[in-house]
Copies of this chain bind each other. A is one copy, B any other.
Amino acid sequence: MTAGGANGAGAVDASLASDPLARLSINQATLKQWSLPELAMGCAESGIRAVALWRGPVQAYGVERAAALMRDSGLAVTSLCRGGFFTAADPARRAAALDDNRSAIDEAAALGTGTLVLVSGGLPEGDRHIGAARERVADAIAELAPYAAERDVRLAIEPLHPMYASDRCVVSTLGQALDIAERFPAEQVGVVVDTYHIWWDDLAPAQIVRAGVGGRIACFQLADWVTPLPEGVLLGRGQLGDGCVDLRGFREQVDAAGYRGAVEVEIFNPALWARDGREVLAEIAGRYLRHAA
């Protein structure tokens, strides 16, 4: 990683540039029906060379064991999801959240990924001060960033769609994420560009340029926007090409901004989880080539 930060630190092997799937990374949450060994085997068989993992299933399988499995399967781990949820004002809860994030950083380091995705957390019960909660996000990152940097892990602030602002993530736009990230060295704190969360924002294109200039694009994720949204609005992401997001347009924007890392597909969708994993993976690869690559 350069001193000035980088766009896509977990960069793709240049020797694979002629492979159209070289940049594709499958986020584990997209194929929830699969165990880690099934994911590793499925990706390897499909010519996919990278995955993004989640803490829960990695912990259940064993962190070192998961790291070995991915290594032995020839799979890069492009990011670990997720740290964050550090908006508590209560000191004990805040300390617990910071401890948990240090564990997440350790796990990312053990998995060999340079990127820990941060979902910052929502408003505490009864709290009406979202600005103050955002400041607590910055405070938490100030405590965690040096610890992460010592372990070669970059914190990646993910803005989530504003519909999650109260209960999941008070950081709602790429502009807000960069306002926080830019208080820290670029090699320590970056941002996530996820099409699902920012597609509606007319300011996003300029913020992608800002992120690229600063070497802040740590991770790029694809999902499509479809309606109607389900109750709770968490599991309504669309398969690539099923919705209204100009996926290729965003991929071209991050590339133009200097991003050279993986393109992660992260779709939370029970309809995909109910199907045969191999069939879903083949469909994703096809959709990726058609709509984004």
CB within 8 Å of B: which residues of A?
123, 127-131, 134, 161-163, 165-167, 172-173, 175-176, 199-203, 225, 227-233, 243-246, 249
Contact = CB atoms under 8 A, between A and B. Distances in A.
B134 A202 contact: yes
B232 A229 contact: yes
Given A172-B200, A231-B228, A244 B127 contact: yes
A225 B246 CA distance: 29
A122 B130 CA distance: 28
A175 B249 CA distance: 23
Given A163-B163, A166-B243, A199 B229 contact: no
Number of copies of this protein chain within its complex: 2
A228 to B, nearest CB: 5
Contact of A229 (B123, B163, B200, B202): B163
Nearest to A203: B175
A202 B176 contact: yes
Given A130-B202, A229-B229, 11 more contacts: A127-B244, A128-B245, A128-B249, A161-B162, A162-B201, A166-B227, A172-B200, A176-B202, A228-B233, A229-B233, A230-B231
A233 B228 CA distance: 8
Nearest to A167: B227
A176 B173 CA distance: 15
A122 to B, nearest CB: 8
Contacts of A203: 175
B200 A130 contact: yes
A244 B202 CA distance: 26
A176 B202 CA distance: 8
Given A134-B202, A202-B134, A202-B176, A233 B163 contact: yes
A160 to B, nearest CB: 10
Contacts of A127: 244
A241 B4 CA distance: 46
A136 to B, nearest CB: 14
B163 A130 contact: no
**Max chain B Cβ within 10 angstroms of own Cβ: one of A165, A244, A245:** A244
A184 B130 CA distance: 33
Contacts of A172: 200-202
